[in-house]
Amino acid sequence: MAMTYQQQFVLDATAARDAILNLTARHNRCYSSGDRNGWIATFRHSGASFTRDGNEYADLRDAFDGGNGRLVTVDHEITVDGVNATQRCVALLFAAGADGGTALRATGSYRDELIYERGGWYFTSRELQWDSVPVSA
C-alpha cells in the first residue's frame, strides 16, 4: 500500500527530526570530551560558522572551547523544510566541582541552521547565546 503525500511528508519530517537530535547529541558529546575534530565534523564540510555571544567564527577550530564540562541540550524546537532545517534549543553546561560533585555552570540558547547533504544532516550555522548571570552582592 502506497503512502499518501501527507503521510510521506510526516514520515520524512520525523526521520529528519530524529537525525537532527542525534547530530546534536554527537555535537554535545564531542564538545564534552574535548574532541575538536569530532565537533567540527558535525558542521557542513565548507562554509559553516559558529557564533558565541556575538563573536562569529568562520574557522571552527578557533571556536572550539570544549572539554571542560558536560554540554546538554533540551527543549528542542525543530522545523524541517526539505533539505534545510532550523533548530532552537536550550544549552546547559555542567562542570565538576572541587568536591567531586557536579554543578550547573551556565545556561544559554542555540539557534541553528542545518542542511541535509552527503547523506546526513549538518550544521551550517550555530549561534550560542549564554544567559547573563546575576552578580550576588
Angle (CA) 106 86 103, round 5°? 15
Distance CA 7, CA 28 (A): 32
Q: Mean per-residue pLDDT for 52-64? A: 96
Domain boundaries, given as residue ranges, for the chain: 5-130
- Encode pLDDT of 97-136 as tens digits: 777 788 999 999 999 999 999 999 999 999 999 997 655 5
Q: Write down the pLDDT at residue 132.
A: 76
Q: How far is CA 132 from CA 10, 38, 40, 73, 105, in A?
A: 38, 29, 26, 18, 12
Task: Give the predicted TM-score (pTM) of the model.
Answer: 0.90
Mapped onto helix, strand or coil, the DSSP state of residue 62 is helix
Q: Go through 35-67 and write b for each residue having 16 or more CB atoms within 10 A of its CB, e for each that does not.
A: bbeebbebbbeeebbbeeeeeeeeebeebbebe
Tell me the CATH number for domain 5-130. Answer: 3.10.450.50
Q: Write down the pLDDT at residue 5.
A: 86
